[in-house]
């Protein structure tokens, strides 16, 4: 398996594009994206657990209830959430695209991201459909990734090549997500494409299993979005024998999917609103996986710990504090904590108590962009990883006037 270029267009039969249609005031920013498969594809998705859900999620869930889709349309700048006519607008987006592409309306995945509670005008989208379709390209992943961005500062895309039954297969993804990120299903908006042949049932099983250890372990600010969705399309054009059950090929597919999603997790966490650092909390020695996950997620979600990381302050007490209120069944007198980065590693706590360490060296370690928080529980063999970012002044500035 190897990382390759191409994003969502790396897989055979997929093209993508993105344009500025006029939803966003800034004409220099794309605000409408399209992903298209040359053939109908197996489809799977996971959705936000927030009771307030964007209209596009409701429409998409109905559309892919048969397990298939062929295109994805997504706008940025407006979430189409809490709107009286939201379902109607989402359906219109689907209808306009299906008519233009000559595909079934039910084979369209619809997504929106941006401000909640503002009406979404269908006119710029309708007017932009011809140009959107014209923008489709084998090299269009980059433009599609830009078109789904809101407060993101960088595009997020990745692709890998792997083998199934002697056939070269590819899987790629793009994502948006910078703030309002604290999922318990999937995350933000993530679109994944693959030319591997896999049944809708096994594709859904793969996605649902993967997100438990990837997107569900990412937190930027503790807020679960109303529009979070992860969608995977698998068109089978690689020519491998279709995956219909567990086995070697399914395990290889899962490994490839996980490589893509793990990469996107790191990109999302590292690009949190106002963030200057990617935080990766690695918990080992837990009595079971759930305990490890609970501890890792609690630490990565701690506002006090996130603020300390922003200030490059090795305040390890905040790590123990977050573990203590996590609800996890741990022996606090066994916990070891270390901080690690490209500058090195420094132990700061052993058996639940502080030890002498160099504050100067610790600061050097914590001034790096990528920080690992290492926690050893000494109670078993289970482990887990969670991703997040530091909490900065800029986060408050961004969200203080996000709407206006």
Instruction: Determine whether 81 is an active site residue.
Output: no
Among the options 46, 187, 194, 224, which is catalytic? 187
Owner of token pair 């399309």: 233
Rounded-to-integer distance, Cα 377 and Cα 337, Å: 9
Indicate which residues carry an active-site annotation: 187
């Amino acid at each position: 398996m190897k990382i390759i270029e191409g994003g969502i267009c790396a897989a055979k039969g997929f093209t993508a594009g993105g344009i500025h249609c006029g939803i966003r005031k800034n004409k220099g920013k794309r605000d409408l994206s399209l992903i298209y498969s040359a053939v109908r594809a197996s489809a799977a998705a996971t959705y936000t657990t927030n009771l307030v859900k964007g209209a596009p999620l409701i429409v998409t869930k109905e559309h892919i209830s048969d397990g298939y889709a062929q295109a994805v349309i997504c706008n940025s700048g407006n979430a189409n959430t809490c709107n009286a006519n939201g379902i109607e607008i989402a359906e219109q987006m689907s209808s306009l695209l299906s008519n233009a592409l000559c595909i079934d309306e039910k084979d369209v995945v619809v997504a929106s991201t941006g401000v909640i509670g503002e009406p979404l005008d269908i006119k710029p989208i309708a007017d932009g459909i011809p140009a959107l379709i014209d923008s489709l390209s084998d090299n269009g992943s980059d433009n599609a990734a830009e078109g789904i961005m809101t407060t993101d500062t960088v595009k997020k895309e990745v692709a890998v090549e792997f083998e199934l039954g002697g056939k070269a297969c590819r899987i790629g993804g793009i994502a948006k997500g910078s703030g309002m990120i604290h999922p318990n299903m999937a995350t933000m908006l993530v679109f994944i494409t693959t030319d591997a042949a896999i049944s809708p049932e096994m594709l859904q099983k793969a996605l649902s299993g993967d997100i438990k250890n990837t997107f569900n372990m990412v937190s930027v600010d503790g807020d679960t979005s109303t529009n979070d969705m992860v969608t995977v399309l698998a068109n089978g054009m690689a020519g491998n024998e279709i995956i219909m059950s567990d086995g070697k090929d399914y395990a290889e597919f899962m490994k490839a999917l996980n490589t893509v999603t793990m990469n996107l997790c790191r990109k999302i966490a590292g690009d949190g609103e106002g963030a200057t650092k990617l935080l990766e909390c690695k918990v080992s020695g837990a009595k079971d996986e759930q305990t490890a996950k609970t501890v890792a997620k609690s630490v990565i979600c701690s506002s006090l710990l996130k603020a300390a990381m922003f200030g490059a302050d090795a305040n390890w007490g905040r790590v123990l504090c977050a573990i203590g209120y996590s609800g996890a069944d741990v022996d606090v007198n066994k916990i070891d904590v270390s901080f690690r980065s490209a500058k090195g590693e420094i132990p700061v706590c052993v058996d639940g108590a502080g030890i002498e360490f160099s504050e100067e060296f610790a600061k050097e370690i914590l001034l790096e962009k990528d920080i690992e928080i290492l926690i050893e529980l000494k109670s078993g063999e289970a482990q887990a990883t969670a991703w997040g970012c530091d909490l900065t002044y800029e986060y408050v500035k961004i969200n203080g006037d996000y709407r206006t």
